Structure 1
C-alpha cells in the first residue's frame, strides 16, 4: 500500500527488500491518488533496488478498494491517467507497468476501453491483463477469449501480457502461441508448484517427490528467518507467510494421480495414499517402540 510505504510501516518496507537470489525484482504499489502513488514510487526506487514498478489495478479486496486502489482505480479512468502520468514523471528510467482485470462485474468487459485510454494519453512500458472480473475473484476459468480485443486496444504501442490458470508448460506455450500477447504472467501456478518454471524451461512434467517438495518448504522457511530474523517476531512473521503459502501448495496433485495431463488449476486430487506414507508409519512405530522400551 502506497500510504503504508509513506508512513514508514516496517512490515510494508520489509516487503520491498530484495533478496540476493532474486534475478528480477519489481514492486507493485496499490493506491488511489496521484500524489501518494508518485511519492511512494519515487521513495521506493531511490532507496531500494528495483527493476520496475507496477500499479495494482486488479486487487478485489475491500481493504484496498475502499482506499481507492485496485479495481476501484481501474474504474476511475481520469484519476488513473493522473496517477500514471505522475508516476512516470518521477520514475524516469524505471519501467512502469500496470496489471488489471477485465472489469468489475462478470460479463462486463471494459478493460479494452481503459487500455485504449492509457495508450493514447500515457502509455506504460507494459500492461498485464487478468481476464476475470473483480466479482469473480478466482472462481471459474479465466476468459482468454477476451485477450485479443485488449491486444487490439494497445495499437501495438504497449506490450500486453496475460495471466490466468497457467499451471503447466503446456498451458504456458499454448497461450503464448495462440493469443496475440508478448508474454505470460504466472501467479497462483507458481504458488501451487514453484517448480513450474523448471517445467516450462525444460518443456516437461516433473513428478517431484514429497521429499523434494519438503526441501522447498525448508528453503522457504530458512529464507524467511534470514529475512525477518530468528527472534520471536521473525519466527511469527515467517510462520504467517508460510501458512499463507501452504494454503496454495496443498492444491498440487501429483502427476502419478492424474488420469489426464495437465492438471487444471481448480482440480482436486482423488482420495489416495502417498508414496511415502508407509515409511512415515514405520518411523512412527519405531519411535513409539523406542519410547516404550525406555
Structure 2
C-alpha cells in the first residue's frame, strides 16, 4: 500500500475537514439518506446531488426538499448547476440569506447530454467569458460561505479548458478547485488522467486542488495524493454500495492500515439502513423501496447470493419484504475479496458531446448562444 510522509489536512475556506475526502455529487444517489449513511462510516464533506439554480429560484417543491439537510449533517454542502450568472447569483443569495448551506459548489463537470446540450456542465468552461462571469458573481453572492468549483479536463482532447478555467476561478476567489480527470467525451470510460491533476496542482497555488477519477479504494486515494500532490480526493462511483469506503479513507489518511471487509450480514444491515433512511427522506415507503432497488447490484456485487435473490430484492415494495429476503441469506458469509473490488457503476463509452449549435466556433459567447442560454434558464425541471 502506498503511504504518505504526513497525514494531509484540508481546509476549504472556513471549513476544516477531519479527512481530505469529498463525496462527489451524483444525481439520484447523493440525497440526504445516502449522505447520512456514508457519514456514519467515515469523515469528510458530503455534497448534495446537483440542484438546478433556476428551479431553486422558482422554489419548486422538489428542489426545496432536495436542499433540506438532516440536522445531523454538518457541514451542509449543496452543488448548483446553471448557465446564467444572474440566476446562479440569485440561487446562492437564497441559500446564504436563509442559512441553508455551509458550502456551495458549482458544477462544470457534468457530461450528460441533456446538460451539455444546453451549454452547461462540462461544456460551459469553453465559453471563457461566461465561465468567468458566473464564478465571479457566485463568489460575490456567497460572501462568507465557501464557494468551490468542480470541472473536467475539457470537452474533448481538442478542446481542453481546465487550466484556463482554474486560473479564472482562482482569480475570482473560489475556496477550492476539483478536477475530474476525464473529458466530457470520455464520459466515465477509460482511465482518468491523473497527470492532469498534477498539472493543475502545479498551476494553482492559493487554494486547494482536489482530484477525482478512478478512486475505487483507500489505496487509490493515497496513491493519487502521492502521485499528483493534490490536497484531497473526490469520490464518486467507488462508494456505490460501499458506504464503508469513507471509513477506509479516513483511516488511510490517518496512516492506519485498515480496510473494511464486511460479511454478507454487514452488507445486508447497511442495505436495510439505507432503505430506512430513504423512507425517512421521502416520507413514503413505496417511493423509498423503488429508489433502493437501483442499489441492489452495487451492494451485493461479488457476493454469491444468487440471481433469484437479486431479482426479488430489485422488486421490493416494503421494508417488511426487504427483511424477509435478507433473512434468507447466510449472514456469516465472509468477505469474498477480489470479486468485490474494482470499478463499479456505469462507465458508458466515449461519445461526441451534445453541444449547442456553433458552440465550439468561438470561446466567447455570441448573441444567438446568449439567447439560447436565456431560454435554457427558463427550464425548471430537474433538481
What TM-score, normalized by structure 2, do the two folds share?
Answer: 0.63
Q: 1:93 aligns with which of 144, 152, 163?
A: 144
Partner of 2:288 in structure 1?
238
Alignment of 1:187 onto 2:265: no
**CA–CA distance in 2 between the matches of 1:135 and 1:183?**
25
Corresponding position of 2:258:
204
The Cα of 1:237 is off from its aligned counterpart by 3.6
* Corresponding position: 1:24 with 2:60: no
Work out the CA distance in 1 between the residues paired with 2:115 and 2:108.
10
Distance change in 2, residues 1:266/1:242 (3 Å): closer
Q: 2:177 matched to 1:127?
A: yes
1:151–1:181 CA contact under 8 A, matched in 2:
yes
Q: Find the residue that maps to 1:258 and give its secondary structure.
A: helix
| Distance of aligned partners of 1:244 and 1:74 in 2 relative to their CA distance in 1, 3 Å threshold | farther
> Aligned to 1:220, which of 252, 274, 280?
274
1:67-114: per-residue Cα shift (whole Å, max 9, x none)? 332112222111111111111112110000000000111475331122
Alignment equivalent of 1:7, drawn from 58, 65, 69: 58
Corresponding residue for 1:145? 195
- How many pairs align? 260
- Is the CA contact (8 Å cut-off) linking 1:167 and 1:263 kept in structure 2? yes
Q: CA deviation at 1:215?
A: 1.3
Aligned residue number for residue 81 of structure 1: 132
- Partners of 1:218 and 1:80 lie apart in 2 by 42
What is the RMSD of the two structures over their aligned residues, measured on CA atoms? 2.4
Question: Does 2:318 match 1:264?
Answer: no
Q: 1:136 aligned to 162, 186, 201, which one? A: 186
Instruction: List gaps (5 residues or longer) in structure 1.
Output: 269-294
CA contact (8 A) 1:106 1:132 kept: no
Report the 3-state secondary structure (helix = DSSP H, G, I; strand = E; otherwise coil) of the residue aligned with 2:166: helix
Return the TM-score normalized by structure 1: 0.80
* Paired residue secondary structure (1:67): coil
Q: Deviation per CA, 1:150-181: give whole Å up to 9, x if none.
A: 11221x11211111111212111111222121
Tell me which of the two structures has the higher relative contact order, counting C-alpha pairs closer than 8 angstroms and 6 or more residues apart: 2
Q: Tell me the distance in 2 between the aligned counterparts of 1:107 and 1:23.
A: 40
Q: Which moved more, 1:201-210 or 1:190-199?
A: 201-210
Distance change >3 Å, CA 255–CA 112, structure 1 → 2:
farther
Correspondent of 1:57 among 108, 121, 130: 108
Give the CA deviation at 1:14: 1.5
Structure 2: distance between partners of 1:71 and 1:267: 20
Tell me if structure 2 keeps the 8 A contact 1:169–1:196: yes
Name which of structure 1's ranges 34-43 and 9-18 shifts more when overlaid on structure 2: 9-18
Residue ranges of structure 2 left out of the alignment (5+ in a row): 1-51, 252-256, 304-333, 347-383
In our comparison, the structure showing a higher alpha carbon Rg is 1
